[in-house]
Amino acid sequence: MKSEPCIVMNKRSLRVRQPGDLCFPGGRVAPRLDSCLARLFALPFASLGRWAYWAYWKKNHRRQADIMATLWATGLRESFEEMRLNPFGVRFLGVLAPQPLVMFRRTIYPLVGWIERQKRFYPNWEVDKVLYVPLRDLLNPNHYCRYRLRMANNPGRRPTESIQNYPCFRLQGQHRKDVLWGATYRITISFLEHIFGFEPPAFDTLPLVEGTLDESYLTGSR
């Protein structure tokens, strides 16, 4: 585990959609289970109940508070399933703006937490590995690039060419081949803007890196 402040991410395994992408743990809401867990995490001793603004939200914005609690419960449950994150070792910090996905009809509702005591994670089959991305790297403008992605043709179909450019962050050190882009990139930048006032360099000035997505990207191999 890193001895400096990091953002913890997962690299998706080859058995799920968008294999190889970097992401944050999460998934769909399980209404009954997550509603029960939400009440647990909202207790005074638990993560949401210890949040300085929780009493205000419960009193003045009860419906939004209930939604926030359910989403927080979903995030902690999924994090436990995917990487064995201890749900009672996380401090709730707040929410970020929703992020719609481009290739799927879904919206991500990001919530931010501080992992207080966990020294090791145990990824399940959905996760290839857990990455610790130092904040000092994320705040370094020299690590940002322009990601040119080519969507590979599906076998047996009419040849087409699809190339798109996206802003991205290129990881350093032993993870240098990994590229952070898409919704996870946008969530990360939103966090850096809110907390540190950081803005990445202008898109047109970024150096170019290239990548390819094959036909399994949208389906996974399972």
The per-residue b/e assignment along 139-150, b for 16 or more CB within 10 angstroms, e otherwise, is eeeebbbbbebe
Listed in sequence order, the residues at least 6 apart from 183 whose beta carbon sits closer than 8 Å to its beta carbon are: 99, 100, 101, 102, 108
171: pLDDT confidence band, cut at 50, 70 and 90? Answer: very high
Report the predicted TM-score, pTM, of the whole model to 2 decimal places. 0.90
- Residue 2: the pLDDT is 58
Q: In which residue are the tokens 């000035």 written?
A: 205
SS3 131: strand
* C-alpha distances out from residue 11 to 47, 75, 122, 131, 150, Å: 26, 17, 13, 7, 20
153: pLDDT confidence band, cut at 50, 70 and 90? Answer: low
Q: What are the tens digits of pLDDT across the range 111-133?
A: 999 998 898 999 999 999 999 99
Task: For residue 56, list its beta bridge partners.
Answer: none
Q: What are the tens digits of pLDDT across the range 16-61?
A: 988 999 999 999 999 999 999 999 999 999 999 999 999 999 999 9
pLDDT above 90 as % of the chain:
75
In degrees rounded to 5, what are phi and psi of residue 68?
A: -60, -45
**Domain residue ranges of the chain, discontinuous segments joined by +:** 13-117+126-130, 132-218
- Give the residue ranges of DSSP H helices in 84-165: 135-138
Distance between terminal CA atoms of the chain?
31
* Rounded Cα distance, 75 and 86, in Å: 12
Encoded tokens for 87: 């749900």
- Residue 9: the pLDDT is 96
- Residue 160: the pLDDT is 54
- Residue 216: the pLDDT is 73
Q: How many residues does the chain have?
A: 222
* Rounded Cα distance, 44 and 73, in Å: 15
Strand ranges inside 143-207, DSSP E: 144-151, 162-170, 179-180
222: pLDDT confidence band, cut at 50, 70 and 90? Answer: very low
* Rounded Cα distance, 71 and 85, in Å: 16
* Rounded Cα distance, 85 and 119, in Å: 10
* Over residues 152-179, mean pLDDT: 75
159: pLDDT confidence band, cut at 50, 70 and 90? Answer: very low
- Residue 206: the pLDDT is 96
163: pLDDT confidence band, cut at 50, 70 and 90? Answer: confident
Inform me whether the pLDDT recorded for 205 exceeds 60: yes
Q: If we measure between CA atoms, which residue out of 89, 99, 95, 101 comes closest to residue 69? A: 95
To the nearest whole number, what is the mean pLDDT of the chain? 91
Q: What are the tens digits of pLDDT across the range 98-113?
A: 998 877 778 999 999 9
Encoded tokens for 82: 């995917």
Encoded tokens for 12: 């998706």
